[in-house]
Structure 1
Amino acid sequence: MAISVQPETTPEREQLSAPRLRMKQAGSERGHFDGGWWPRSTDLVAELPALSSALKQWVGPVTSVSYHLDTWGPTARKVRVGDRTVRLEGFRFTDPHTITVIGSGSRSASLLVVPPEAPRDAARAALRSVVDEEPAASAAEILSRNGISPAL
């Protein structure tokens, strides 16, 4: 007789898998960003399932993600996320600290990306700034104001 053991779900384990994401409230002035995201790594494929799940209420099922090629490690052009195929579209002309997530019905979310290596307090402050600061602030301005070097 085989016994199936499921890994214990602890708040710490859930916290490690939950995306570090803040989104603006519905109806707030959009500006450059709809929210901010602090990924744990530069492996977009590994980060995408949790982000996709968290963004479902804003964009629906994710169909594509555009990103800056030099910000993320090498990645495939298409990946499976759950039961869907997601196109990953890398460009050099986009802001290195921004990704755009497109979902069903062409709904999209533009996110400021806080570098994974950013100190915790500075990263959290930057995420708060994205949703609280003036809409015209650029990624470099938000990161710099919060003590994070926006240089690649």
Structure 2
Amino acid sequence: MTTALQPPLPSHPVLRLRLAPHAHGALPRAIDGAWWPRSYDLLVELPRLLAGLPRAWGHVTSVTVNGAMWSAVPGRMLVSNQVVRLRRNLTASAPHTVVLLAPGRGRWDLLVVPPDTAEHTAEPLMAAAAGAHV
């Protein structure tokens, strides 16, 4: 009998994020990319997302999420020793988006692919949101 060794699971799962390229001077996009969190626990998922954003985006101080999608949305949370204000949006116009605001830097709207989405469905959605051809 042989035993196949399984590689250890990473302590920090890979962030599933695809961002659209931004050309200098280009018109703003409706969606700036896509994020595929691993759960509906915003307290776990949001710090991972914010840590994986480009440094050029600066410090995100405000995040708006769809309140019906996430299990709990406190008014604010501490991420990397910085306070991030959390807002809930309950409108049907943007059920699967997250809006990130960084003062003096900008606003970014990301498509949120539900955590329970199958990979063969999630990958084309993420690619399309990032402006890649599938």
TM-score by length of 1: 0.73
What displacement does 1:58 show? 4.6
| CA displacement, residues 58-92 of structure 1 (integer Å, 9 cap, x when unaligned) | 52111010011101112211100011010110021
Kept in 2: contact 1:18–1:50 (CA 8 A): no
Alignment of 1:116 with 2:115, yes or no, is yes
The residue that corresponds to 2:63 in the other structure is 65
* CA distance in structure 2 between the partners assigned to 1:58 and 1:12 by the alignment: 30
Q: CA separation in 2, counterparts of 1:18 and 1:87?
A: 25
Change (3 A) 1:58 1:12: farther
Shift of 1:130: 0.8
Give the Cα separation in 1 of the matches to 2:128 and 2:51. 23
In the TM superposition, structure 1's runs of 4+ consecutive aligned residues that sit over 4 Å from their partners are: none
Does residue 26 in structure 1 map to residue 22 in structure 2? yes
Deviation per CA, 1:35-59: give whole Å up to 9, x if none.
0010001111110111101124252
The residue identity in structure 2 corresponding to 1:13 is P
Q: Secondary structure, in 3 states, of the residue corresponding to 1:48? A: helix
Q: Can you give the 5+ residue segments of structure 1 that lack an aligned partner in the other structure? A: 1-9, 135-145, 147-152
CA contact (8 A) 1:43 1:73 kept: yes
TM-score by length of 2: 0.82
User: What's the C-alpha RMSD, in Å, of the aligned pairs?
Assistant: 2.4
* Number of aligned residues: 125
Mapped to 2, the partners of 1:60 and 1:69 lie a distance apart of: 25
Alpha-carbon distance between aligned partners in 1 of 2:103 and 2:63, rounded to the nearest angstrom: 12
Quick one: distance in 1 between partners of 2:58 and 2:14? Answer: 18
Gaps in structure 2 of 5+ consecutive residues: 1-6
Deviations 1:91-135 (A, max 9, x none): 21251101101124252210000010000121111100112269x
TM-superposed CA distance for 1:18, in Å, is: 2.6
1:101 and 1:108 in contact (8 A); partners too: yes
Percent of aligned positions with the same letter in both sequences? Answer: 31
- Tell me the secondary structure at the aligned position of residue 43 of structure 2: helix
Q: Higher RCO, 1 or 2 (CA under 8 Å, sep at least 6)?
A: 2
